Structure 1
Amino acid sequence: MDAALAKPLVSGFYDKPTGAIQYVVADPATRRCAIIDPILDFDERSGATATKSADALLDFIRENGLELEWILDTHPHADHFSAAHHLKEKTGAPTAIGDRVIEVQALWKAIYNWPEFPADGSQWDRLFGEGNSFRIGSLPVKVLFSPGHTLASITYVVGDAAFIHDTLFIPDSGTARADFPGGSAARLWRSIQGILALPDDTRLFVGHDYQEGGREPRWESTVAEQTEKNVHLVAAHTEAEFVALREARDKTLPMPRLILHALQVNMNGGRLPEPEANGRRYLKFPLDGF
């Protein structure tokens, strides 16, 4: 199928506690599909985990006569747990993420003082690099390396749709922060330029929405809309201007409340810590590390 003519069916599932969006992307011809950025529910106050959000995706797939072919993450998330491992256990579908995840693993392995952790990407079935391609059913998928928010962020271009994770948000919300360990506002600018080089009518699906001004959640825009209306890109026309704007804003932002909880799970492919002798699982994070 010609990539320019391929139009996947895209269903977004908004997670109000985190502002994140999970996606099911389906090929209308073959009814094969992929899940992108699935969420494992976590309540930091009680330590409770649940699979309600991820299982709802499987219910949707079954109810619509789809067949799951891939479980994809765009990057190791800092504000929610990935449900990739849970979904693989339930379905057997392969998991994938960007190949630079090994750099994130090496960085956070040191932060968590986790010397035995295998920082080799072996927690996923497939690691995708810049320019790699694969298919969802008959739909062509191309991978863009899109770092800046994290070292390992990638974009999935599925026909006329691109899943751009935490690079651009909906135009009234601007762009993603770039101050996490390994982040870079300059690299984010260059990644954004790569996304905006796609055809103007490319549908762009974001990783988060924070309901600017109290509006209803949104997660779809286009290259043309972002180019014309994104509040950060309208204000910053050069890399230097963008870096200054982005870094100034990042200095005002608190750390995500789940970053230390989430990275140790997400750099391990969505696996929770192994149970200890008493049968319970425990998270670990450094005090006064940031």
Structure 2
Amino acid sequence: MDASLAKPQVTGFYDKPTGSIQYIVTDSATRRCAIIDPVLDFDEKSGATSTGNADALLDFIAENGLELEWILDTHPHADHFSAADYLKRKTGAPVGIGERIVDVQALWKAIYNWPDFRADGSQWDRLFADGEIFHIGSLPVTVLFSPGHTLASITYVIGDAAFIHDTMFMPDSGTARADFPGGSAVRLWQSIQRILALPGETRLFVGHDYQPGGREARWETTVAEQKRSNSHVHVPTTEAEFVALREARDKTLPMPRLILHALQVNMNGGRLPEPEANGKRYLKFPLNGL
């Protein structure tokens, strides 16, 4: 059967504090599944971490008799901690991310003045290249390199579903910002065009939804719907128009409140800092660094 005709079962889990959507993608034939973009809870006011989001994913897997085969991130997130390391320690499932994570690591290693940090991607079990194919059960997964929002962003195309992270949001919310260190509105446009070249009926699952106008959270759209009505990239928007709009909009946006907290965890595979001599863990970030 044509891989594009496969229909994985997709379950989204919405984290309201960060507007993030976590996914469990299941191959119904084998009952094997993958987790995409899991969230480790963090309260920046108290410095407390917790595992409510990640444990809910594990509960769903257990209650439905699934076998976890992969723990996947689409990119190093700037607005929440990844729960990939916690889930790996709980389940033993391998963790994966795009191979250009090494570029993000090199960039932020300098920002954090972290000379001993291993910027070689070795914190993950698998680094995926553009065009690479792997499997969730019997479902083939094709990797699309999708930079622009970050240097390392990838899209997972699984049958008729694509997990497009922070490239496009729901049509009424447009597209993701491209002004983080290493970001590029031009590269984001190019990545979006690759996604929009997928068949029109392809289901697109976004990485965030901020509930514009107070509507209910939504996270599933299609290629055809994005082409028709995305407020930033609907046909016949040109590259020049998009880049001008995106760059002007980005100049008005504050940095995510957790970017300096999250990147030092997420560039390290979701690992929290090692405890110091007193048994406590400490985050480090530069003043005036951005």
More deviation in 189-198 or 232-241?
Answer: 232-241
- 8 Å contact from structure 1 (residues 145, 155) kept in 2: yes
Counterpart CA distance in 2 for 1:43 and 1:4 is 40
**Amino acid of the residue matched to residue 84 of structure 2?**
A
Residue 60 (str. 1) matches residue 98 (str. 2): no
Deviations for 1:233-266, whole angstroms, at most 9, x for unmatched residues?
A: 1387111111000000000000000000000000
Q: How many residue pairs are counted as aligned between the two chains?
A: 290
Aligned-residue sequence identity (percent) comes to 82
Q: Structure 1 residue 289: deviation in Å?
A: 1.2
| Secondary structure of the structure 2 residue equivalent to 1:188 | helix
Counterpart CA distance in 2 for 1:4 and 1:145 is 18
Report what 1:180 is aligned to: 180
Counterpart CA distance in 2 for 1:5 and 1:106 is 39
Report what 2:198 is aligned to: 198
| Secondary structure of the structure 2 residue equivalent to 1:68 | strand
**Amino acid of the residue matched to residue 23 of structure 2?**
Y
| Secondary structure of the structure 2 residue equivalent to 1:272 | coil
Deviations for 1:150-200, whole angstroms, at most 9, x for unmatched residues?
A: 000000001100000000000000000000000000000000000000000
TM-score by length of 2: 0.99
Counterpart CA distance in 1 for 2:94 and 2:243 is 37
**Amino acid of the residue matched to residue 246 of structure 2?**
R
Counterpart CA distance in 2 for 1:167 and 1:190 is 10
Counterpart CA distance in 2 for 1:289 and 1:261 is 12
Deviations for 1:64-118, whole angstroms, at most 9, x for unmatched residues?
A: 1110000000000000000000000000000000000000000000000000000
1:17-96 pair list within 5 angstroms: 17-96=17-96
Structure 1 stretches of 4+ moved >2 Å: none
- 8 Å contact from structure 2 (residues 24, 36) kept in 1: yes
Report what 2:284 is aligned to: 284
Counterpart CA distance in 1 for 2:196 and 2:81 is 29
- 8 Å contact from structure 2 (residues 226, 234) kept in 1: no
| Secondary structure of the structure 2 residue equivalent to 1:271 | coil
- 8 Å contact from structure 2 (residues 139, 158) kept in 1: yes
Q: Structure 1 residue 46: deviation in Å?
A: 0.1
- 8 Å contact from structure 1 (residues 41, 52) kept in 2: yes
Q: Structure 1 residue 130: deviation in Å?
A: 0.3
**Amino acid of the residue matched to residue 214 of structure 1?**
G
**Amino acid of the residue matched to residue 289 of structure 1?**
G
Counterpart CA distance in 1 for 2:281 and 2:141 is 37
Report what 2:166 is aligned to: 166
Unaligned runs of 5+ in 2: none
| Secondary structure of the structure 2 residue equivalent to 1:14 | strand
For residues 235 and 139 of structure 1, do their structure 2 counterparts lie closer, same or farther at Cα, with a shift above 3 Å needed? Answer: closer
Q: Structure 1 residue 4: deviation in Å?
A: 2.1
Report what 1:152 is aligned to: 152
| Secondary structure of the structure 2 residue equivalent to 1:79 | coil
Counterpart CA distance in 2 for 1:63 and 1:195 is 33
- 8 Å contact from structure 1 (residues 236, 245) kept in 2: no
Counterpart CA distance in 2 for 1:190 and 1:152 is 14
Residue 11 (str. 1) matches residue 15 (str. 2): no
Counterpart CA distance in 1 for 2:60 and 2:51 is 14
Q: Structure 1 residue 267: deviation in Å?
A: 0.1
| Secondary structure of the structure 1 residue equivalent to 2:234 | helix
Q: Structure 1 residue 2: deviation in Å?
A: 2.5
Q: Structure 1 residue 128: deviation in Å?
A: 0.2
TM-score by length of 1: 0.99
